[in-house]
Structure 1
Amino acid sequence: MLVVDRTRPTGPAGRITHVETLLLGTAWRDFGYVRVHTDQGLSGVGEITHPYRVAETAALAEAMARRHLIGADPFDTEEIWLRLYQGDFLRGGDVGGIVLSGFDQAMHDLMGKALGVPVYRLTGGACRNRVRVYANGWYNGERDPAVFAAKARETVAKGYSALKFDPFGAGLHELSRAELRQSVELVGAVREAIGPDVDLFVEGHARFAMTTASALLRALEPFDIGWLEEPMPWTHIERYAELRARAPFPISGGEHFHNRYEYKQLFATNAVDIIQPDLSMAGGLTEVRKLAAIADTHGVMVAPHNSNSPLCTTVSVHAALGIPNFKILETFDGLLEPYVFDAVRGALPVTADGHVEIPTAPGFGVELDDDVFAEHPPTHRFWNMFSAGWEKRNRT
């Protein structure tokens, strides 16, 4: 591996001196962050949220920082990425992929702050004037068509022009006839409530067998959905192309992959029409830009996954601005408590018409408020989506 001489002159951000991790408890999930400091008095932030293992992710981040970041120049993003991935024998996976992503974000934040420019100026500039987002998490409650329809109308009334939800309850591998009927009724009720001009995406959470996934293609066709997301487990990736060939709408997926090497088989098998890399899981801006370029060579669009905090939303907006084959960005921001936005001061807000405007602040423009973190420690809660009632988000 090529190793940069860390005694040579550095860029305007200086060299990294120390790294902190911070955890924030919410009703949705515990959010995790890194804050990286340099000898020039700058600090850069990144998100390391894991749905269930944020404490473990923070511990790995602290250990990897000691091994690889102290003394590094944040402008050496490619060398740092390689050092973390190859030099630590990381080889992908969710916890390691999240740590790598968060550090890559922090490097970009430091570069932007050092140069006095928004991060998107460093990653290809802007292909568009703003970024369209869709709402997720709006449907927590009773799995009743009238309830879901009312919640969908409320969400569209807030300005969103696109929604996503999982209508399938606790189904795994198969759905009973009654469960399939109820799930389809939920989709129909939501489509009727929001009308034909709002995009509707259906989430499968990667849990159905081929026969059930095929049945869903027929059952969902009347509702003009924008995509069916991860209908099967990725252990069956070789069957995705077969399913996609039958589908009357796009098939999307990829949130469970953490770098180009894990994505390799997805592209090789023509598994999906739309990839969904997560800026806090798939290697940060350095790697997601490469994934988008590879997707473009396959005629595939990019719709980043983002079930994280407003910091990841902000990071994703910066990335999306420079991706030519970008489609739309996920956000759970409308589900979160107000103090979350106090904790990540400066995060970009969703506008009244379901977009995020082009940013102007140097770096990501986000600072972490330690006092808010102290007031809201992590809860370490867990909700099991394979048990009945998971959609109510009741945690234990």
Structure 2
Amino acid sequence: MLTVDKNRPTGPAGRISRVETLSLGTAWRDFSYVRVHTDEGLSGVGEITHPYRGRETCSLAESMAERHLIGADPFDVEEIWLRMYQGDFLRGGDVGGIVVSGIDQALYDIMGKALGVPAYRLTGGACRERVRVYANGWYTGERDPETFAAKAREVAARGYTALKFDPFGAGLGSLSRQELRLSVEIVAAVRAAVPDADLFVEGHARFAMPTAQRLVRELEPFDLGWFEEPLPWTHIERYAELRQRATMPISGGEHFHNRYEYARLFATGAVDIIQPDLSMAGGFTEVRKLAAQADVHAMLVAPHNSNSPVCTTVSVHAVLGMPNFLILETFDGMVDPHVHDAVRGALPVESGYIGIPEQPGLGIELVDEVFAEHPPSHRFWNMFAEGWEKRDR
């Protein structure tokens, strides 16, 4: 345990022989990936995107390969996961969590290709015919009710039946009376613009308890599907108190990177809906365990996914066999066109849904030429700065 045993018989994929990383620049953020190769000529991809620590995730993935992956059988996913986590003395955190997640994704991609089956066949099969998604990233532009309403109508016209947005600007801790009124007016305008859509309001862990309590009252008339991360996670015990005051579900969990970090969320009954990210919370291997724990606590699962179409595709494979799945986040319709060229084979969104995958593994190939044409920018995107919602587009 915790070392590569090169004498152990291997499966049909052979042994891991090489690991590389690639990063792609866009108008909003950089997307980063890991590609794992085997000595049988197979390769698998995973997403290791961090909003602004792309260099760090790529560097750690390459270092992890040298310490824990080269010579390993990619079918030993549980043992490899433990080797990376325990053997590298990871104690939570975003960079390590993202790297472990992306490598785990790549291993499932390899296994699926070796067996000639889509990855979801290795993670519980399918208990639904398609996966419902909601749109995020659609509200770039001016922060006023009219702009938000017009853009919401545009998204609904593209077939999405659910939308998420943050109306709160650069708010942090508390909101002035004027900012609170504007935020509520934006939500009201979006609800009026798309009366039949499911709406989710994003809090980005911004607010102290008094403001969060005020907001759950103010947002009650708009029939929200959930209010996401209204409080900082440094105050996790107060989430349950806020849930008792709210009429809409409370969601969250994207900031946690494995079952150990999730333990307090489950123990405190913090949310109604957990939101693990397949590229942050441990990949297929760990998120399946989180979903099972959520089911024990009568919680639903709505994976966070602010990443590229690769993470969207990974997430679809993961949730197809997840009985307590609710809905999946996606930015895919809002990213630059060259992103889709770079990640060939990513699953498309059609009328607010994604269908069952058919290709072996994840079905995605990274196109190196597109990466070369769009190098990473390493920009910092600060959602607590004025005008962050414009995303420099």
Q: What letter matches 1:227 in structure 2? A: W
Structure 1: stretches of 5+ with no match in the other structure: none
In structure 2, the residue matched to 1:74 is: 74
In structure 1, the residue matched to 2:376 is: 378
Q: Which residue, out of 367, 376, 388, partners 1:390?
A: 388
In structure 2, the residue matched to 1:240 is: 239
- Cα deviations by residue, 1:231-284 (Å, 9 ceiling, x for unpaired): 000000010000001100000000000000000000000000000000000000
Matched, 1:120 2:105: no
Matched, 1:15 2:15: yes
Secondary structure of the corresponding residue to residue 132 of structure 1: strand
Q: Note the 1:38-57 alignment, pairs <5 A.
A: 38-57=38-57
In structure 2, the residue matched to 1:168 is: 168
CA distance in 2, matches of 1:376, 1:4: 36
Q: What letter matches 1:13 in structure 2? A: A
In structure 1, the residue matched to 2:199 is: 200
Q: Note the 1:174-193 alignment, pairs <5 A.
A: 174-193=174-193
Secondary structure of the corresponding residue to residue 58 of structure 2: helix
- The number of residues matched between the two structures is 393
Structure 2: stretches of 5+ with no match in the other structure: none
- Cα deviations by residue, 1:272-313 (Å, 9 ceiling, x for unpaired): 000000000000000000000000000000000000000000
Q: What letter matches 2:255 in structure 1? A: H
Q: Note the 1:336-351 alignment, pairs <5 A.
A: 336-351=335-350
CA distance in 2, matches of 1:78, 1:92: 17
Shift of 1:91: 1.7
In structure 2, the residue matched to 1:292 is: 291
Judged with a 3 Å threshold, the aligned counterparts in structure 2 of structure 1 residues 382 and 2 are, in CA distance, closer, same or farther, namely: closer
In structure 2, the residue matched to 1:360 is: 358
CA distance in 2, matches of 1:219, 1:381: 35
Q: What letter matches 1:12 in structure 2? A: P
Shift of 1:394: 2.6
Q: What letter matches 1:149 in structure 2? A: A
CA distance in 2, matches of 1:370, 1:137: 26
Check the 8 A contact 2:252/2:274 in 1, yes or no. Answer: yes
Secondary structure of the corresponding residue to residue 137 of structure 1: coil
- Cα deviations by residue, 1:208-251 (Å, 9 ceiling, x for unpaired): 00000000011000000000000000000010000001100000
Check the 8 A contact 1:4/1:79 in 2, yes or no. Answer: no
Shift of 1:90: 1.1
In structure 2, the residue matched to 1:62 is: 62
Q: CA RMSD in A?
A: 0.9
CA distance in 2, matches of 1:146, 1:252: 27
Shift of 1:2: 6.0
CA distance in 2, matches of 1:256, 1:176: 27
CA distance in 1, matches of 2:3, 2:64: 16
Check the 8 A contact 2:16/2:73 in 1, yes or no. Answer: yes
CA distance in 1, matches of 2:219, 2:367: 45
Q: What letter matches 2:357 in structure 1? A: P
Secondary structure of the corresponding residue to residue 23 of structure 1: strand
CA distance in 2, matches of 1:307, 1:62: 23
Check the 8 A contact 1:3/1:79 in 2, yes or no. Answer: no
Q: What letter matches 2:200 in structure 1? A: F
Displaced runs of 4+ in structure 1, greater than 6 A? none
In structure 1, the residue matched to 2:155 is: 155
CA distance in 1, matches of 2:340, 2:392: 23
Check the 8 A contact 1:139/1:391 in 2, yes or no. Answer: yes
- Cα deviations by residue, 1:25-76 (Å, 9 ceiling, x for unpaired): 0012100000000000000000000011011110011001110000000000
CA distance in 1, matches of 2:296, 2:3: 31
Check the 8 A contact 2:27/2:392 in 1, yes or no. Answer: no
Secondary structure of the corresponding residue to residue 219 of structure 2: helix
- Cα deviations by residue, 1:334-373 (Å, 9 ceiling, x for unpaired): 111111011000000000x200000000000000000000
- Cα deviations by residue, 1:164-218 (Å, 9 ceiling, x for unpaired): 00000010000000000000000000000001x2100000000100000000011
In structure 2, the residue matched to 1:301 is: 300
CA distance in 2, matches of 1:323, 1:65: 30
In structure 2, the residue matched to 1:230 is: 229
In structure 2, the residue matched to 1:369 is: 367
Check the 8 A contact 1:303/1:326 in 2, yes or no. Answer: yes
In structure 2, the residue matched to 1:277 is: 276
Shift of 1:4: 6.2
Secondary structure of the corresponding residue to residue 133 of structure 1: strand
Q: What letter matches 1:309 in structure 2? A: S
Shift of 1:152: 0.1
Matched, 1:107 2:69: no
Secondary structure of the corresponding residue to residue 66 of structure 1: helix
Shift of 1:5: 2.9
Shift of 1:126: 0.2
TM-score, L = length of structure 2: 0.99
CA distance in 2, matches of 1:151, 1:129: 29
In structure 2, the residue matched to 1:216 is: 215
Shift of 1:381: 1.1
Judged with a 3 Å threshold, the aligned counterparts in structure 2 of structure 1 residues 4 and 18 are, in CA distance, closer, same or farther, namely: closer
Check the 8 A contact 2:3/2:68 in 1, yes or no. Answer: no
In structure 1, the residue matched to 2:254 is: 255
Shift of 1:384: 1.5
CA distance in 2, matches of 1:127, 1:2: 35
- Cα deviations by residue, 1:91-139 (Å, 9 ceiling, x for unpaired): 2210000000000000000000000000000000001011000000000
In structure 1, the residue matched to 2:92 is: 92
Check the 8 A contact 2:198/2:224 in 1, yes or no. Answer: yes
Q: Percent identity?
A: 79
In structure 1, the residue matched to 2:322 is: 323
CA distance in 1, matches of 2:389, 2:328: 22
